[in-house]
Structure 1
Amino acid sequence: MRSFVRVAERGSLSSVAREYGVGQSTITRHVAELEQALGVTLLNRTTRRITLTAEGARYLDDTRTILRLVDEAADGVRSATDRLTGTVRISCTAALGVRHVADILFAFQDRHPGVCVDFRLSDVQIDLVREGVDVAIRLGALSDSSMQRKQIGASRRILVASKEYLDRHGRPDEPGALARHAIIRMSNVSGSDRLVLHRANAEPSILPVGDRLLVDHGLAARRAIMMGRGIAPTHLWLVNDLLEAGIVEQVLPDYSPEPVPLSILFVPGRARVKRVRALIDALHGALRALPGMT
């Protein structure tokens, strides 16, 4: 049943085989045996794609419920020892994952050594159901209304540059002066071709941003800042250690880019599985304590 559900979600026998670490023939056999036992065809298979039959679509919903109940029943048996076991799959934007979430997960596993964590880093917003992910940490506005979510807060952003860069090129004293500076731009962030800076009791300052250096990864932006490639709008949690060490400085401290919402997404029903619920709670508490969270 688990093999059938994952094939239905991913639309591929080979990808599910790789996910489970078995040969494709094993997954094919699982589905064939299930179809034989039921006496119906669940999947239409062609050389190009796999789709659900009408019977398969109806069976898929019931199977997901059954598998969730199996997990919950196992949790109930284990609750006498208060020991969590099983796998939790989590997806997170790469820079936040490397800088902070990995340590949160390590601490969680130290408390619950029976839990296997499958940690996936990607700046692409994935389909949680299709990829078999239990929990996702998302920066930015959310569009997937079918998922449950837990709001963490807003991630504060600031302007920073290395001390070496500012010593060479000067420290801007008002937003217009940024036009004379190199700006490190995130190419995969919508609207990054302009910089909108907010100041208390004032209209926002809107400045165009050039294309001298574009990066599509937060850790690449962090490295560019450290190496004196320019000024960058960035999340405080990405550079808090560099600020404390004096390697980078905040630029125009009275002005700040718009903060970005940070949320935990999870598949409806999965939070009733004890290990998933425990991880969501651990992440929620730890992420709220990140530098710059409001």
Structure 2
Amino acid sequence: MGKLDINLERMRTFVRVAERGNLSPVAREMGVGQSTVTRHLKELEEALGVALLSRTTRRVTLTDEGRSFYSNSVQILRLVEQASEEVRGTRSASAGTIRMSCTAAFGVMHVTRLIFAFQDRYPDIQVDLSLTDERIDLVGEGVDLALRLGPLTDSSMKFRPLGLSQRLLVAAPEYLAVHGEPKLPEELSRHEGIRMSNLAGSDMLALVGPGGDAYSIPFGGRLRVDHGLAAREAFLAGRGLGPAHRWLVDDLLSAGRLEILLPDYLLPPMPLSMLIVPERLGVARVRLLVDFLAKQITAIPGIEKSRTGARAERSHGDNG
């Protein structure tokens, strides 16, 4: 048997296993059996003459040689993809797969429609959209870009501010008919609150009054949820009052099914950002989606254009 080659297929398999730390999800991602993934890795190690991975019953980790080879492999595969696109021209720019993550309720209510419009424009681009409020590791999960609400922690992701999400205090008319409508911030603490369990500090409401005065109001309630659509249903059912993104409830406000409370007191808006794996920003189809979303996102109710400029891009953000 002749010496095995270091081909791109084996290299791609190795890179994904290194990033996922497990063979099973890589096999599912590639649409092959786990034995095929194992064979690719074995053949690559035989071709190189060194062990790239250390295998345990629960996880696969990189050896020192594996870490070095992984770093170089990522760069090689990126260059191959970009070179292929340049040769094929604009046709290849509008074909292939983009993997995207998005905050769950925002994705369901608004981003999915933007993806539909994007795919109508570029019918050969496949989008794998993952909806989660968890801050995932973009590289480890094989995701190209993510839309996230809220403050971000440091990382090496490219960061593009998209806008500010306006928030309002809302309640159903049925709830207010029974419990009364609060007229001052201090009265909120006596009401039944709908809180987000995955949002730090949800037991306090921070408000800014018409004169610029800041208020910090204790906020409690019997129901906590970890999904925006569940909060929406709770407001509609008259289970309590609470803060909500305008994009989450704008249709219900227009229909009179929810009401805005204390309209002269403002809740701090929440930043909406796009995080992009730096190596994927050079891929034409990813860049097409990045630019499309940045242009279309402020048409969503309650998303104000970022004061720092929607075109800004820099290294920042979190892992997802």
Please indicate the TM-score interval, normalised by the length of the shorter structure: over 0.9
Partner of 1:273: 283
Q: Distance in 1 between matches of 2:134 and 2:269?
A: 20
Partner of 1:78: 88
Task: Choose which of 103, 120, 138 in structure 2 pairs with 1:128.
Answer: 138
- The yes-or-no answer on 1:145 pairing with 2:152 is no
Name the aligned partner's letter for residue 229 of structure 1.
Answer: R
- The yes-or-no answer on 1:264 pairing with 2:247 is no
Q: Distance in 1 between matches of 2:171 and 2:215?
A: 19
The secondary structure found in structure 1 opposite 2:140 is helix
TM-score by length of 1: 0.96
Partner of 1:202: 212
Partner of 2:316: none
Which whole-Å deviations, capped at 9, do the CAs of 1:254-292 have from their partners, x for residues lacking one? 112211111000111211100000011111112122211
Contact 1:78 1:84 in 2 (8 A): no
The secondary structure found in structure 2 opposite 1:65 is helix
Cα displacement (A) at 1:50 = 1.1
The secondary structure found in structure 2 opposite 1:205 is strand
Cα displacement (A) at 1:36 = 1.8
Q: Distance in 2 between matches of 1:5 and 1:223?
A: 43
Cα displacement (A) at 1:84 = 0.9
Task: Choose which of 91, 106, 117 in structure 2 pairs with 1:96.
Answer: 106
Name the aligned partner's letter for residue 247 of structure 1.
Answer: R
Which whole-Å deviations, capped at 9, do the CAs of 1:94-117 have from their partners, x for residues lacking one? 000001011111111111111111
Question: Does 80-89 or 124-133 show the bigger shift?
Answer: 80-89
The secondary structure found in structure 2 opposite 1:40 is coil
Unaligned runs of 5+ in 2: 1-10, 305-320
Cα displacement (A) at 1:150 = 0.5
Cα displacement (A) at 1:243 = 0.9
Matches within 5 A, 1:209-224: 209-224=219-234
Name the aligned partner's letter for residue 132 of structure 1.
Answer: G
Cα displacement (A) at 1:80 = 4.5
Q: Distance in 2 between matches of 1:65 and 1:257?
A: 44
Change in Cα spacing, 1:80 to 1:156, as seen in structure 2 (3 Å) is: closer
Q: Distance in 2 between matches of 1:199 and 1:71?
A: 53
- The yes-or-no answer on 1:105 pairing with 2:115 is yes
Task: Choose which of 17, 20, 25 in structure 2 pairs with 1:15.
Answer: 25
- The yes-or-no answer on 1:163 pairing with 2:173 is yes
What is the aligned residue count? Answer: 294
Contact 2:93 2:285 in 1 (8 A): no
Cα displacement (A) at 1:172 = 1.3
Contact 2:15 2:70 in 1 (8 A): yes
Name the aligned partner's letter for residue 181 of structure 1.
Answer: H
The secondary structure found in structure 2 opposite 1:265 is strand
Name the aligned partner's letter for residue 179 of structure 1.
Answer: S
Task: Choose which of 44, 67, 91 in structure 1 pairs with 2:54.
Answer: 44
- The yes-or-no answer on 1:63 pairing with 2:76 is no
Partner of 1:26: 36
Q: Distance in 1 between matches of 2:279 and 2:15?
A: 15
Change in Cα spacing, 1:80 to 1:134, as seen in structure 2 (3 Å) is: closer
Change in Cα spacing, 1:83 to 1:274, as seen in structure 2 (3 Å) is: closer
Matches within 5 A, 1:165-184: 165-184=175-194
Task: Choose which of 257, 262, 265 in structure 2 pairs with 1:255.
Answer: 265
Q: Distance in 2 between matches of 1:156 and 1:81?
A: 39
Unaligned runs of 5+ in 1: none
Q: Distance in 2 between matches of 1:71 and 1:249?
A: 51
RMSD: 1.3
Q: Distance in 2 between matches of 1:281 and 1:287?
A: 10
Contact 1:83 1:112 in 2 (8 A): no
Q: Distance in 2 between matches of 1:284 and 1:24?
A: 38
Cα displacement (A) at 1:30 = 1.2
